[in-house]
Amino acid sequence: MEAAPIIDVAPLLDDDADPGAVDAVASEIDAACRHLGFFLIRGHGVSADLTRRLESAARSFFILPEADREAMAMRHGGAAWRGWFPIGGELTSSVPDRKEGIYFGAELGPDDPRVIDGLPLHGPNLFPERLPAMRDAVLEWIDAMTALGHRLMRGVALGLGLEAGWFDEHLTADPITLFRIFRYPSIDADLESTPSTWGVAEHTDYGLLTILHQDHTGGLEVRTPTGWDDWVEVPVQPDTLVCNVGDMLDRMTAGRYRSTPHRVRSPRGRQRLSYAFFFDPAWDAKVVPVPVTGPRIADSADARWDHKSVDWFEGTYGEYLWAKVGRVFPDLRASVDPPNRQR
């Protein structure tokens, strides 16, 4: 069985850390990204108080009457792609997931030029009127995860033999940051596992780096490098966050880093809550290869869960992401993306 390593990333957060300690962390991240594509981090600097407040707000939200949640439905968020969706409202490989959730992102006001231009995935968030504490907790979490994402990508850069600021210089000076809270309802203990009963079916993430906080229920499974049908559960460890490589980082490193398929098994006997943060390139960033040496590791479209190579795309990250998310919410994309829309 493979295992996701636990890495103490505290030196990456300390500007005065010993360079040798920073290099050691970068080497551990590099090894994890090469092998399983998943790793856990401790020493991440996210306060226990903020985590508790976020969890409390999420639990409170998901027990609100459906009418209150419906007032935050994603159709009210427009092109900003924010708000709540019900169980079955999100698709993986055209199959509805057994989860409900809320989409958030960087909070932008109506006078922001990107909002004025109607740039997709940019705009204000939707928050429940009956839970004022949720706004503060979510926005603080996004700020904390954004800062952590920058630091982790410095470790990734060093692990690749690049200058620490390479990603900020070329891709993430103004990153797209997406944050999603998911609730997976319990299923009956004797219910057979089928595509329609998975919380989320097999998939990979789109971008650079995912940072996940999960509750104590577990259920996140990762395909191991040793076999196509071999899966290992990512354990729930106190005071850690889960990190994984996305398709874009796989593509940019010519396959050196693994964007590993993963899935979520529906919980039995209790619900599961998870908090997924996606740290991605800027909307208008041109996707460029990372300057690392070595041959391209073969990426067979037939061998991937979606039958599409990570090398299929040329263009800006915004164009890539908009095409991807439109497959997850096709009806919503059609409503905010009329023919010949200029972006």
**What CATH number labels 21-336?**
2.60.120.330
Q: What is the dihedral of CA 300, 302, 303, 309, to 10 degrees?
A: 50
Identify which has the larger pLDDT, 129 or 228.
Answer: 129
pLDDT for 227 beyond 80:
no
Q: What is the pLDDT of residue 342?
A: 43
As a whole number of angstroms, the longest Cα–Cα distance in the chain is 55
Amino acid at 256: R
Contact between 46 and 242 under an 8 Å Cβ cutoff? The reply is no
Domain positions in the chain: 21-336
Burial category of 305 from C-beta neighbours within 10 Å (exposed 0-12, middle 13-18, buried 19 and up): middle
Q: What is the pLDDT of residue 338?
A: 46
Q: What is the pLDDT of residue 340?
A: 40
The string over 223-244, giving b where at least 16 C-beta atoms fall within 10 Å of a residue's C-beta and e elsewhere, is bbeeeeeebbebeeeeebbbbb
Q: What is the pLDDT of residue 343?
A: 41
pLDDT for 200 beyond 80:
yes
Of 83, 88, 11, the closest CA to residue 43 belongs to 11
Amino acid at 19: P
Total-model pTM: 0.91
pLDDT for 284 beyond 90:
yes
Q: What is the pLDDT of residue 296?
A: 59
Give 151's pLDDT tier (boundaries 50, 70, 90): very high
Angstrom distance (rounded) from CA 148 to CA 153: 9
Identify which has the larger pLDDT, 2 or 284.
Answer: 284
